[in-house]
Amino acid sequence: MSSVACSPDGRKIISGSEDRTVRIWDGETGTATSQPLVGHTRSVSSVAYSPYGRYIISGSEDETIQIWDAETGAAVGEPLDGHNRSVCSVAYSPDGHYITSGSEDGTIRVWNSFPHVSTQYSSSRNPVHAGLCARPDPDGWVRDSNNGLLYWVPPDCRAGLHSSALLTIPLTSRFRSVSLDFEDAAFGPSWTQIFNSTSL
């Protein structure tokens, strides 16, 4: 084995190996919990879990980074390809939106993992909440289908609305990186009354 990492809850351990696979182990019993994750063409040199344990990333001597679904073991999307020598280190940002990689080519790269992370929301999002995912108008307000006000987006953050389910504030913003998940949001014509009653 060339790399190991623990899941955020401490229940699983992942390992990357010279046999070109990633394996998931039960942290208590030490037994493999699934078949090896196969996809790299050379030795796996680094592995890491996403902050909430939903995804695994692996860096390899084949110069790529692969994202895996931690539950199913399936590869998520195409490998991240950009280094021209072995990827020797990978990590997730604390919010899970970015992947960083270090390579023997002497570079560190930052990758946007958001397209992969956002897929978990698209399948579970209730269609009735679609209005929450609209882009803000010129004044910064996001409105429902009846032109009612839903929420206001600060000017610094409007360019960061690049997902149907999440608002991400660019790292260049003075607010740094923040995301809003609207799964449990209260909305409708009396949203101000809902807000006032929950804030008491």
Looking at per-residue pLDDT, the higher value among 98 and 23 belongs to 23
With a cut of 80, say whether residue 191 has pLDDT above it: no
User: The tokens of 19 are what?
Assistant: 């046999």
Instruction: Give mean pLDDT, residues 5-15.
Output: 93
Whole-number Å distance between alpha carbons of 30 and 9:
16
With a cut of 90, say whether residue 132 has pLDDT above it: no
With a cut of 50, say whether residue 165 has pLDDT above it: no
With a cut of 80, say whether residue 130 has pLDDT above it: no
The rounded percent of the chain whose pLDDT value lies above 70 is: 65
**Structural domains of the chain, with CATH:** 3-114 (2.130.10.10), 121-198 (no CATH)
With a cut of 70, say whether residue 77 has pLDDT above it: yes
Q: For the segment 92-111, what is each residue's pLDDT rounded down to a tens digit?
A: 988 788 899 999 999 999 98
Looking at per-residue pLDDT, the higher value among 4 and 120 belongs to 4
